[in-house]
Amino acid sequence: MRLHYKTRSRFVYQLADNDFFVKELMAKYSLPDTEMSNKFSAQMVGKINEIEPLFDETPAMKDPSWKLINCKEIMFTRHSVHGFH
């Protein structure tokens, strides 16, 4: 995505339309939910919910063409995250 290394992960998850890495690992290895994993999930969902609704109106969220292989339109992602971090 060529985002700045200090970009908050909540924006990366939103741009990529992916679930949290921990959730993917838990599903892949059939790990049980624990108190700490539920606490982590609730914390991450809270952070995702803190993203302003205007983020969904940014170029990268409205036009997914930047997700294509070898796409040179990296400005979509940077523009979308700028001002929200």
Reported as a single tens digit per residue, the pLDDT across 19-70 is 889 889 999 999 999 999 999 999 999 999 999 999 999 888 888 888 887 7
Place of tokens 């809270």: 46
Q: What is the pTM of this model?
A: 0.75
Tokens of 67: 């997700």
pLDDT at 85 over 60: no
As a whole number of angstroms, the distance between CA 24 and CA 22 comes to 5
Whether residue 1 lies inside any domain: the answer is no
Whether residue 3 lies inside any domain: the answer is no
Count of domains observed in the chain:
1
pLDDT band at residue 78 under the 50/70/90 scheme: confident
Residue 69 has what pLDDT? 73
Q: How far is CA 26 from the centre of its chain?
A: 18
Q: Residue 10, exposed/middle/buried by CB under 10 A (0-12, 13-18, 19+)? A: buried
Residue 77 or residue 33, greater confidence: 33
The amino acid at 68: L
Whether residue 54 lies inside any domain: the answer is yes
Q: Could you count the other beta carbons within 10 Å of the beta carbon of residue 22?
A: 13
Whether residue 56 lies inside any domain: the answer is yes
pLDDT at 73 over 80: no
